[in-house]
Amino acid sequence: MKQTRLTIVLVAGLTLATAAAVPAAAGGGKPQKKTVKIADNYYSPTKLAVNKGSTITWKWPDTTGDTHDVLLDKGPKGVKKFQSESAGSFYSYKQKLKVPGEYKIICTLHEQEMKMTIRVRK
Ligand SMILES: [Cu+2]
């Protein structure tokens, strides 16, 4: 009788441990697609949090404006820097962010005021 009870407690404990481990092992959500608007002189939004593997598209306006670009100023370890062309309008630039961490983006023509941060979840 005593042995049976011990077994039940043990099994219940194991089940709990397994259930708790599943969400962590499954990791983050699905890759997303997000658009960042380019304006004079700012990105919109300036802060983004996305799942790993998401694609970010920076979209320039369809009207003539100031010239801007997109440069990865600082990214997670091992991520190569990327930079778009400089453009004023009718342009877009895409990047797939595969490595979790923080990506600091700046416009090299307005680096004091035009910046944004993207956080890629694990
Ligand atoms: Cu700019």
* Nearby residues for ligand 1 (ion, Cβ within 5 Å): 41, 68, 107, 109-110, 114
Model pLDDT, residue 27: 57
Give the residue among 97, 81, 78, 122 at the shortest CA–CA distance from 36. Answer: 97
Note whether residue 12 is domain-resident. Answer: no
Model pLDDT, residue 22: 42
- CA–centroid distance, 66 to ligand 1, in Å, is 7
User: CB neighbours (10 Å) of residue 32?
Assistant: 14
pLDDT, the chain, mean? 85
Domain housing 98: 33-120
- The answer to whether 73 and 107 have CB atoms below 8 angstroms apart is no
Note whether residue 71 is domain-resident. Answer: yes
Distances (CA, A) of 72 to 11, 61, 97, 109: 51, 21, 11, 13
Number of domains in the chain: 1
- CA–centroid distance, 10 to ligand 1, in Å, is 62
- CA–centroid distance, 5 to ligand 1, in Å, is 69
Q: What is the spatial distance between Cα 48 and Cα 100, in angstroms, rounded to a whole number?
A: 13
- Residues near 82 by beta carbon (within 8 Å), at least 6 away in sequence: 70, 71, 72, 95
Note whether residue 15 is domain-resident. Answer: no
Note whether residue 25 is domain-resident. Answer: no
Note whether residue 6 is domain-resident. Answer: no
Each residue's pLDDT tens digit, 21-30: 444 444 579 9
CATH number at residue 58: 2.60.40.420
- CA–centroid distance, 74 to ligand 1, in Å, is 17
Model pLDDT, residue 64: 83
Note whether residue 63 is domain-resident. Answer: yes
8: pLDDT strictly greater than 60: no
Note whether residue 13 is domain-resident. Answer: no
- CA–centroid distance, 122 to ligand 1, in Å, is 30
| DSSP letters for 67-87 | -B--EEEE-STTPPP-B---B
Each residue's pLDDT tens digit, 74-120: 999 999 999 999 999 999 999 999 999 999 999 999 999 999 999 99
